[in-house]
Amino acid sequence: MHQAGCWGDVCKKDRAMNNRGLITGAMLMSTFRFSSDILIVKKSFAQRSQVPTLLVITDAAMDSSKPLDRHVTMILCREEY
């Protein structure tokens, strides 16, 4: 999902940063929450933040000669970030 541009449950600001990052080579971050509650999207951001969460972060390009080189992706629990 992250690779296809589905950012999961990120705020509008982070979604916009990710969309720009696709073009500029900046870091990308997705947030995926795990809940048996199918109505989780109707809860407030604060309530959703209490649900077990995984972050998928693709690092920014480090080599200016390859601006879209994304060879490092990490998967972290929210507590590890």
Residue 78 vs residue 30, higher pLDDT: 30
Q: What is the pLDDT of residues 15-38, one digit of tens each?
A: 999 999 888 888 899 998 877 665
Which residues lie across from 30 on neighbouring strands? 56
Q: What is the pLDDT of residues 46-73, one digit of tens each?
A: 777 777 888 999 987 666 666 567 778 8
SS (H, E, C) the chain: CHHHCCCECCCHHHHHHHHHHHHHCCCEEEEEECCCCCCHHHCCHHHHCCCCEEEEEECCCCCCCCCCCCCCEEEEEHHHC
